[in-house]
Structure 1
């Protein structure tokens, strides 16, 4: 269960591509950050089952695998969430999407051997070089092998950004995000129009014909083909679980837009933002939980019965923002900002494409809360803060807001220096970039450790005040 945001290059404040997603499943699901080396002369088969994944999907390994990064689940090292490869292709996947019962009745998911979110990052980043190729290759796999579940995947490179949605076990549609618009999604099929003649769209070979043949779409009765209506679920679950998340993102970027928060099927697929999108905006969206409204489940004390599902939930295991600045060298211009755990109470840290290795602490962590794991350093802070959100969350938020503001200034200075060095000494430039990046991440971890100590002292005093067990003279 996730929430996604995509902004085209003319919809952003600086001309970059921005792709963000909050990955939600379980709070105890520790994540790593992994660098996969390039491999030459490979033979054999990629196997999900061999890694202990969810099913038995297999696919030929690329003979020459590109180097790439992923943010995988600790136990399997699959389900890679997001990453860039050495060719400059970035990917985030997946947004869970639910096909309608009618669509699944005629074309069910291939649960035993179809491709799932376990596989997408590793299979595609190892072989594809562009966003268009990534979407096309994934679509071909869906048609050939089937999808093991419903999903949406975003692909971005230095020229364009694409998003693919599944419709059923073998049907799919992908669209290039218009340069001057943004796209927001929350666990539902959002695509509507399909023009098979458009170079900005691609789909399964018989997308419309199949829908007609199986009774999912009647041209005479339904009018123009609508992908979402033909293939994806739209019922009362969407009204409170999915629609409000898309509504709040569209309201953020288009404040003048008036929409019923529970009318998701009628929301525009793409919008030109009234305010240009920034990386900070994307972070804010990943942190959103309907603050200032009656639907905020945290600020007035934890309310598990709140019907609206916010973007930032405690069971988020990581959120990320991918940024591509095409005017810069890929090593500097392609960045993944990663927030481990619940984004609302976490810090977004940059991982530049030029970083050659993962910090050791980001390769550790399971379901046991290890102290030397980056995931658990940030998660422990969040868990403790949630025991008294109104009192402790402001402390955590201010700490990370100050950290991010300071980091942004320092990043700008570093980038200017490294960009100059690229002109004369590329190796020295990359060494400078790596030293800065690793140092900033280490500093954030130390800040998390100090923050945890501070929160423990506060909670210790609070609890002692509630159960002092002192005598009448306040003596032992």
Structure 2
């Protein structure tokens, strides 16, 4: 291979990694930390407003042979991994161009993945064990590799950890994995080191582009990590047990500098304020924020959506309400370049078809509808699988994105209209969901086929209602803006008759 070609490949990988490194805010909540005993994952995926998302159902496959290849999909690098002989059915919400980086999804056995949260290792740690950028696993690959074969959340975490140790991580990331029993979060330390923790039932965890896991106990069944995680740190001078006391993964392996003070810390701070309002801590003291907290205010689906929509409204750091301010030093949770945000809810006491729901908001979370997608949904409409980096009239992604773009031309005037309409729609839909779920529980006892049909008809109707509301809002706002512009440049004569 020529030096020129190698340089082009390296440049393309670096661009991909840089673009993803601007991304995401994550909230996890255990069953005793939520208002209804469910397990909850909420995450925004932020990098590019032109990154249309598709909804994909990957069917189960038998007797497969061959290799999964990122390069064959024009993904970030050249990671490869054997295909599972028998692949499970699973869903993803991937990037339009590559059909990779599935953001969120569940498989047929009830394992769910949300990934990834871009995180940053310390330069010193990376100098000893750099990312394997050309062939290591990245966020492009994680959902497809894990969901196609993992039977439990723990198995998924152990598999991802094994891949990191053997083939390396192509970038820094955090990944949430859930099933009906457990909720796990994995963070990379360097190219081949990682840690994962099972979330305690009574805790929640919040992060924004930071490595935040701390405690590691090799004897604990609730914490996993690379085989020589601590020994490597001691050997390379990253950690001195005698001087520093207990091992702290975040302190030893991850970055902590002035960039975190305004870009990352305020997001974690505002989430912890939302669920622990009595907590008093300096916004720029992120390294000392507790990674796990028992909430004073229980986490719910609605509270998780509110978190994803947060942009420091009501404060001087709101970059939208008082005129668009792209130079605001505090990076908000809800940004325009969010291409998808979601709340994954697992209710173990219910049948999987209705017990697993993903609320997906396309585009900017503050200005979108979070639409429920039940695991029992059999198929998506055709226009949910189209869309590119060019606006169109058909794809579901661009229907939401065009409305959001219009709102941002006069956020103070137009945003309240959209937010009120979506809030009312979500409240109405939540009531309808309760009625449908109660009906499903009754029907499924004697007529599983009929219950599943009813569920699918309901879900498709809800999706259509949200789409029609978005189209109507677009027309309403165009009417408002047309009048605004006409009033500004009317050019009437004195008699105002022509």
Kindly state the Cα deviation for residue 470 of structure 1 after the two structures are TM-superposed: 2.0
Q: Deviations over 1:106-126 (max 9, x none)?
A: 000000000000000001000
Q: Deviations over 1:327-385 (max 9, x none)?
A: 00101100110000001000000110000111222111111111111101111111000
Kindly state the Cα deviation for residue 32 of structure 1 after the two structures are TM-superposed: 0.8
Kindly state the Cα deviation for residue 475 of structure 1 after the two structures are TM-superposed: 3.2
Kindly state the Cα deviation for residue 398 of structure 1 after the two structures are TM-superposed: 0.3
Cα distance in 2 between the residues matched to 1:365 and 1:226: 44
Match of 1:158 among 175, 180, 197: 180
Match of 1:78 among 100, 112, 134: 100
Q: Which residue of 1 aligns with 2:15?
A: none
Kindly state the Cα deviation for residue 467 of structure 1 after the two structures are TM-superposed: 1.2
Aligned positions of 1:176-215 closer than 5 A? 176-215=198-237
Q: How many residues get paired?
A: 476
Cα distance in 1 between the residues matched to 2:333 and 2:479: 30
Aligned positions of 1:60-459 closer than 5 A? 60-459=82-481
Aligned to 1:5, the other structure's residue is in SS state strand
Q: Which residue of 2 aligns with 1:464?
A: 486
Q: Which residue of 1 aligns with 2:70?
A: 48
Aligned to 1:164, the other structure's residue is in SS state strand
Cα distance in 2 between the residues matched to 1:28 and 1:134: 31
Cα distance in 1 between the residues matched to 2:243 and 2:489: 69
Q: Which residue of 2 aligns with 1:22?
A: 44
Kindly state the Cα deviation for residue 262 of structure 1 after the two structures are TM-superposed: 0.9
Cα distance in 2 between the residues matched to 1:233 and 1:469: 58
Kindly state the Cα deviation for residue 472 of structure 1 after the two structures are TM-superposed: 2.1
Cα distance in 2 between the residues matched to 1:134 and 1:429: 31
Cα distance in 2 between the residues matched to 1:361 and 1:249: 35
Cα distance in 2 between the residues matched to 1:115 and 1:312: 27
The two structures have a TM-score, normalised by structure 1, of 0.99
Aligned to 2:138, the other structure's residue is in SS state coil
Q: Which runs of 5+ in 1 are unaligned?
A: none
Kindly state the Cα deviation for residue 193 of structure 1 after the two structures are TM-superposed: 1.4
1:10 and 2:32 matched? yes
Q: Which runs of 5+ in 2 are unaligned?
A: 1-22
Cα distance in 2 between the residues matched to 1:275 and 1:203: 31
Aligned to 1:436, the other structure's residue is in SS state helix
Cα distance in 2 between the residues matched to 1:284 and 1:85: 27
Cα distance in 1 between the residues matched to 2:261 and 2:384: 37
Cα distance in 2 between the residues matched to 1:80 and 1:272: 30
Aligned to 2:163, the other structure's residue is in SS state helix
1:32 and 2:54 matched? yes
